[in-house]
A = this chain, B = another copy of it.
C-alpha cells in the first residue's frame, strides 16, 4: 500500500476536521507540531555545523506560521535563522510567534529588507511561503522572491509544496500578477527546484514527481482519520516528528 497523494480540497478538509469540535486541536497546537516537523526535517538534511545560517521565508498564511515556529526551533537546534516575513498575516497567533522569535534575537526582515542580500548570506533556505491553499497568480513581493530563490545556488527546503508549484498541477511555470494590470499574464515566475521537501499530514498531488529528499511530518493524524481517507501513512521512527519517504513510499 503506497502513501496517498491528496488534492487541495481534501488537504483543506483534513485541516478543518483536525480543528473542528470533534478533532479538538487548536491552531496553536498543530502549528507548533508542524513547525517542529519542518525544523527537524531541515536538521536531518543539513547539519548546523555546515548550514548554520537559515533564511526562513514566510508567507502570509498558515504556512508562514509554520515557518515562524520552525525558525524558533532551529534556533534551539543551534542554527542561526533569519526570518523574512514581508506580509505578516492578520491572526493574533502570528504576531505572538514573531514575538517569540524576536525574544530569541532572531532577526525578522520586513517588506523593506533587501531580500537578495539576506539570501546571499544564507547557507540554506526554508521555503514556507505558499502552502496547500495556494492559488495562482503569485503576487508581489513573492514573484521577485521566487525569481531570486530559483536563481540562487542556495539549497532550499520547501514545506508542503515548493512555492509557486500548483498544489495539484505540480511543477510548472506560473504567472505573476502585475500590480499595474492585475489580469495581465505577461510574466512568468521562475520555478523552484528544492533539494528537500517536507510534506505535512500527507503529500499533495503536485509533488508526485518531486525527485529530492522527501520527508513527511505531522505525527498527529489520528489513525481513524488516516483510515477514513486511506492516507496509508508510513511508520515514523522512534520519537521523530518526521519520516523520510523512500522510493517504496513515494511512488504509486
For the residues of A in contact with B, the DSSP-based class is helix
Q: CB-nearest residue of chain B relative to A43? A: B239
- A76/B24 in contact, CB under 8 A: no
- A223/B77 in contact, CB under 8 A: no
Assess whether A39 is interfacial by the CB under 8 Å rule.
yes
Given the known A-B contacts A43-B238, A239-B39, are A22 and B96 also in contact in the complex, defined by CB atoms under 8 Å?
no
- B77/A239 in contact, CB under 8 A: yes
Assess whether A28 is interfacial by the CB under 8 Å rule.
yes
User: Which stretch (A97-105, A158-166, A177-185) binds chain B?
Assistant: A97-105
Copies in the complex: 2
- B100/A25 in contact, CB under 8 A: yes
| Complex CA–CA separation, A40 to B40 (angstroms) | 15
- In the bound complex, residues from chain B placing their C-beta under 8 Å from that of A186 are none
Q: A214-234 vs B: 1/0 string, CB under 8 Å?
A: 000001101110000000000
A222 to chain B, nearest CB (A): 5
- Which of B23, B28, B40, B238 is within 8 Å of A26, CB to CB? B28
- A222/B103 in contact, CB under 8 A: yes
- Which of B22, B29, B223, B224 is within 8 Å of A28, CB to CB? B29
- A103/B224 in contact, CB under 8 A: yes
- A103/B24 in contact, CB under 8 A: yes
- In the bound complex, residues from chain B placing their C-beta under 8 Å from that of A125 are none
| Complex CA–CA separation, A22 to B77 (angstroms) | 23
Q: Which of A64-109 contact B (CB under 8 A)?
A: 72-73, 76-77, 93, 96-97, 99-100, 103-105
Assess whether A58 is interfacial by the CB under 8 Å rule.
no
| Complex CA–CA separation, A26 to B69 (angstroms) | 13
| Complex CA–CA separation, A164 to B27 (angstroms) | 35
- In the bound complex, residues from chain B placing their C-beta under 8 Å from that of A72 are 220
- A24/B99 in contact, CB under 8 A: yes
Assess whether A55 is interfacial by the CB under 8 Å rule.
no
Q: List 10 A-B contacts (CB under 8 A).
A: A24-B103, A25-B96, A26-B96, A29-B29, A32-B32, A39-B239, A40-B239, A43-B238, A105-B223, A105-B224
